[in-house]
Amino acid sequence: MRSLSILLVDDDKIERLKFKKVCQEVSFKSNIFEAKDGETALALLDNCTTPFDLIISDLNMPRMNGFEFLATLKKNSKFKNIPIVIMSTSQNKVDLDKCYEFAISGYFTKPLQFSEYSKSVIFLLEYWNKASLSVRTNAS
């Protein structure tokens, strides 16, 4: 498995720690950059010299929430093609539909139990590792 460059956007420090813990437990090779809200994430994107393979974002965040972050990303030609997966506690169909209007690549609800959370994150990482690898292979 190659290393993925991931931008994790979530205001909850515990959620960011859980994500990194799952990556470490399964020895998933990744460069995880963290942002506590959309504004911080945009600053990281602007200053990063290498592109991210994947952005994983929460919806409910202070300053700039997930919807505002998505809207800003999709308006910027430099960032609009980075795959974005929403990882949220929201099970609201209106939220889901609104996210897909921004052409997100996936949406999953954060499970409450760590074992289920871990399974979801592992599935997500394995999927994007394979998808990203096939896109880069086909583009070469």
Rg (alpha carbons) of the chain, rounded to whole number: 14
Query: The domain that contains 108 carries what CATH number?
Result: 3.40.50.2300
Answer yes or no: pTM beyond 0.85.
yes
Please give the residue range of the domain that contains residue 21.
Answer: 4-139
| Chain-centroid distance, C-alpha 9 | 7
- Cα gap 39→127, rounded to integer Å: 27
The tally of domains found in the chain comes to 1
pLDDT digits (tens), the chain, 140 positions? 567 889 999 999 999 999 999 988 888 778 899 999 999 999 999 998 878 989 999 999 998 999 999 999 999 988 988 999 999 998 999 999 999 999 999 999 998 899 999 999 999 888 888 776 544 434 44
Report helix, strand or coil for 6: strand
Do the Cβ atoms of 10 and 41 come closer than 8 Å? no
Do the Cβ atoms of 116 and 137 come closer than 8 Å? no
Kindly tell me the sign of the dihedral angle through the C-alpha atoms of 65, 66, 71, 72: positive
